[in-house]
Copies of this chain bind each other. A is one copy, B any other.
Amino acid sequence: MLLLNDLKITRSELHDLLPSQNAEDLEEFFSHLAWSVICEPGDGFAGLLVSALGATAALNSELQNLTSQSVKMSLLESGISASELDRFGVFEVAHHAARERWRPRLSLGAVKQAISKMQQIKGFMLTPVSAGWPEQLSDLRYNAPMALWVRGSQTSLDRLSKSVAVVGSRGATTYGEFATEAVVAALVEKGISIISGGAYGIDAMAHKSTLALQGNTVAVMAGGIDKLYPSGNSQLLKRVTETGAVLSEMPPGSIPTKWRFLQRNRLIAALSHSTIVVEANWRSGALNTATHAQTLEREIYAVPGPISSPKSAGTNKLIAEGRAQLIVDSADLLERMGIQAKVPTQLELSGLGAIEVRVLDAIGFDSLEIAEICSAAGLTRDEARFGLGNLELEGLVARRGNAWAKTQTTL
């Protein structure tokens, strides 16, 4: 019970703690940060309480140790339907379990420490009440993050309204790196921001390629952003903070655990308008990102690869199962994303019909009269004339006196 009381904080203390924050939404802002410290990512029960009651009221109900019955009444009064609550099972049981999870972390000290750490590293925080909160995160509903802890620029986050996630295997092959560069180049050229996870391999290549092209890139971390993880990418991630952003829903000091990596992937998927998996083996985290994108009904694309490459097994399988669209090339990707209209290729324009092909076959390397063409091609005079007319329009045959010949010998 001592820990509970510990979170009580006066309004003037709040002002001192968050001097640059609007007075208007100060408490809601702080309460969201507190929830971000208290919960593991994707805690749907916390999400329910916060989205229905507001972060402060939800926090107070916990600090005051209100009965489950009373919390349930508040939820129903807020407009949450009884059937919606049923999704969490017996409400009292779910609430009791949630309290048991939250209680050991209900510490004012931890929240203050996280905020002060962010101030030290010149980071900033965003919550759903902040201007500049990425609206697309609301598609996660109760599993939306409570806050984002950010190093970098707000402008970079604003540009995520046009963004694509590019993710893949940590152990990328040369082919995967090539494909990442190709895909990123096509997107960045169209002003699209690139979101990834900052990991080794494809993720790193996605960030690097975007930086090289002076595009906007955002890295979403599984743990606290006081440490740029993995350490081998810390220089790269530092460069990302300089023009783009590195962010996490976990406060500084949080360790990146496997669970948090899996939950981090839902943020990558939710922040992006579509997700591209470049290389992934059968059990890659990138496939988990694709699953989140699928749940959110966002488009998923995958780069195909050799059936002999384990790093393409996961992407090929995504495509085979109809979960991802196959990327043929950059032009095709942009077209299917609705970014660029398709321009018909010369080959498609010059598609020949059956009669034209038979006439060309008949002519071969010779110069033939129509009667000869008919006999050789097994066509009627009218058909042969029709075919020759079309071929002449295409510039593929020319008349020489009474005979016809090819203008070129490409066939």
Check A307–B304 contact: CB distance below 8 A.
yes
Say whether B101 contacts A378, CB under 8 Å.
yes
Is A39 close to B, CB under 8 A?
Answer: yes
| Given known A328-B316, A381-B100, contact A357–B259 (CB-CB < 8 A) | yes
Expressed in whole angstroms, the Cα–Cα distance for A182 and B39 within the complex equals: 50
Q: Which residue of B lies closest to A360 (CB)?
A: B258
Q: Which of A146-163 contact B (CB under 8 A)?
A: none
For residue A1, CB closer than 8 A to chain B, the reply is no
Binds B, one of A109-117, A241-249, A317-325, A393-401: A317-325
Q: Across the interface, which residues of B come within 8 angstroms of A43, CB to CB?
A: 378
Question: Could you say which of B308, B326, B380 contacts A320, with CB atoms under 8 Å apart?
Answer: B326
In the bound complex, how far is the Cα of B381 from the Cα of A217, in angstroms?
41
Residue of B whose beta carbon sits closest to that of A102: B378
**Assembly CA distance A357 to B313 (angstroms):** 24
Residue interface mask A204-217, B partner, CB < 8 A = 1: 00000000000000
CB distance from A114 to the nearest CB of B (A): 16
With a cutoff of 8 Å between Cβ atoms, the chain B residues found around residue A358 in the complex are: 40, 257, 259
Q: Does any Cβ of B come within 8 Å of A54's Cβ? A: no
User: Is B383's CB under 8 angstroms from A97's CB?
Assistant: yes
CB interface residues, A 345-387, toward B, < 8 Å: 347, 354, 357-358, 360-362, 374-375, 377-383
Complex interface: chain B residues within 8 A of A304 (CB): 304-307, 312, 316, 319, 326
Residue among B101, B320, B411 making CB contact with A258, cutoff 8 Å:
B411
Max chain B C-beta neighbours (<10 A), residue from A39, A43, A262, A305:
A305
CB <8 Å contact, B313 and A328:
yes
Residue of B nearest to A173 (CB): B306
A104, B307: Cβ atoms closer than 8 Å: no
Measured in the bound complex, the distance between the Cα atoms of B174 and A377 in whole Å is 38
User: Interface SS of chain A: helix, strand, loop or mixed?
Assistant: helix
A282 within 8 Å of B (CB atoms)? yes
A327 contacts partner chain B, Cβ-Cβ < 8 Å? yes
Q: Does A105 contact B (CB under 8 A)?
A: yes
Report A246-282 CB contacts with B as 1/0, cut-off 8 Å: 0000000000011100100000000000000000001
Contact A307 B329, CB 8 Å, known A258-B361, A258-B411, A380-B100: yes
CA distance A35 to B326 in the complex (A): 45
Q: Are B320 and A325 in contact (CB under 8 A)?
A: yes
B306 contacts A332, CB within 8 Å? no
Q: Does the CB pair A378–B40 fall under 8 Å?
A: yes
The reply to whether B313 and A320 contact each other, CB–CB distance below 8 Å, is no
Docked complex Cα distance between A104 and B371 (Å): 11
Residue A303 CB within 8 A of the other chain: yes
Most chain B CB neighbours (cut-off 10 Å) among A282, A308, A328: A328
- With A39-B378, A283-B347, A326-B326 given, can you name 9 additional A-B contacts, CB distance below 8 Å? A101-B374, A101-B378, A258-B357, A259-B361, A262-B357, A304-B304, A304-B316, A306-B306, A307-B329
Give 19 A-B contacts (CB < 8 Å), ordered by A residue: A43-B378, A97-B383, A175-B308, A178-B308, A179-B306, A179-B308, A182-B308, A257-B361, A259-B357, A262-B354, A282-B347, A304-B316, A304-B319, A305-B305, A306-B306, A316-B328, A319-B319, A320-B328, A320-B332
